[in-house]
Amino acid sequence: MISVLILTRNEQQDLPGCLASVAWSDDIHVFDSFSTDSTVEIAKAAGARVTQREFDNWAAHQNWALAHLAFKHRWVFYLDADERVSPELASSLQTAAANSGENVAFRVQRRDFLNNTWLRHVQASPFYLRLFQPAHMRYERLVNPISIADGPTASIAGYLDHYPFSKGYTHWLTRHNSYSSFEAQQILDNRHAHADTGGILHHMAASFRAKNFHERRFHQKEVFYRLPGRPFIKFFLLYVLKRGFLDGRAGLTYATLQSIYEYFIVLKTRELERARD
């Protein structure tokens, strides 16, 4: 009843656990960016269908998958290799797909973990559109893409568990160093695209008026990217306003890492601006 889409690149460590959590599906697609480890062999051994494509950016990569992969079922559930579907969520997914009504997509709640600690408070946004009909879904932004559904959406119970530090801090920092390059490019592209539409004023208005949660989040991000002192603001938002301190040492570590990531984006945006000038 539900096809599964997993994006991979060198995920031999995390992929087995991910595949085990979605073993209830008879149509699992591993969309691989030419891994150089055992990712493909692990996927095939588990009975998954493997398709490979050179990665360009997140939105383009995901949109290509939705347009070209031959999913067996009407509904698709998307997850990354470092994520796991809880038993409660697996049951909710089946129920939602069978009784979807007019909905074309469903939000799930994700739990991020640092080591064995659930980042319950410091996590920026725990809700993601992951169960959807491919014909009604598209992605925007070069990195950390926004999910845009062209019809009604709803939320379902159960947790999608995420282990972003499963490969250690070095891997997390290396990955987010790459992400920050995409973010900086996205910021400049958006500024150029909205130069004649009021810039930050346009995004401020849309961040409140947009009917779709994910569209509002997109515009809120664009407002945030125009604020001075963003790394300090991000730390304050996560650690103080969202009460990340209640997550203990893990909350402090995560808020600090996120502020560092934000500073990467600030530095690279300035670098790109100088290069353009």
Domains and CATH numbers, the chain: 2-162 (3.90.550.10), 169-276 (no CATH)
pLDDT value, residue 200? 62
Split at pLDDT 50, 70, 90, the class of 125 is confident
**Lowest model confidence (mean pLDDT) among 2-16, 63-77, 220-234:** 220-234
Question: What gap in Å lies between CA 81 and CA 7, rounded to an integer?
Answer: 7
pLDDT tens for each residue of 210-262: 666 666 766 777 777 777 899 999 999 999 999 999 999 999 999 999 999 99
Q: Report CA 78 to chain centroid distance, whole Å.
A: 10
pLDDT value, residue 10? 98
Average pLDDT, the chain: 92
Split at pLDDT 50, 70, 90, the class of 70 is very high
- Could you tell me what percent of the chain has a pLDDT over 70? 91
pLDDT at 269 over 80: yes
pLDDT tens for each residue of 145-197: 989 999 999 999 999 999 999 999 999 999 999 999 999 999 888 777 766 55
pLDDT value, residue 92? 98
Q: What is the DSSP string of 194-227?
A: TTTTTTHHHHHHHHHH-SSHHHHHHHHHHHHTTS
Question: What gap in Å lies between CA 101 and CA 151, rounded to an integer?
Answer: 11
**Lowest model confidence (mean pLDDT) among 70-84, 111-125, 127-141, 215-229:** 215-229
Question: What gap in Å lies between CA 68 and CA 97, rounded to an integer?
Answer: 22
- Residue 166: HSE in the Cβ half-sphere, 13 Å Cα cutoff: 17
| Closest listed residue to residue 5, CA positions, set 61, 45, 88 | 61
pLDDT tens for each residue of 17-60: 999 999 999 999 999 999 999 999 999 999 999 999 999 999 99
**Full-model pTM:** 0.89
Looking at per-residue confidence, does 134 or 220 come out higher? 134
pLDDT value, residue 154? 97
pLDDT value, residue 223? 75
Q: Which long-range contacts (CB under 8 A, 24 or more apart) does 192-200 make?
A: 194/222, 199/226, 200/226
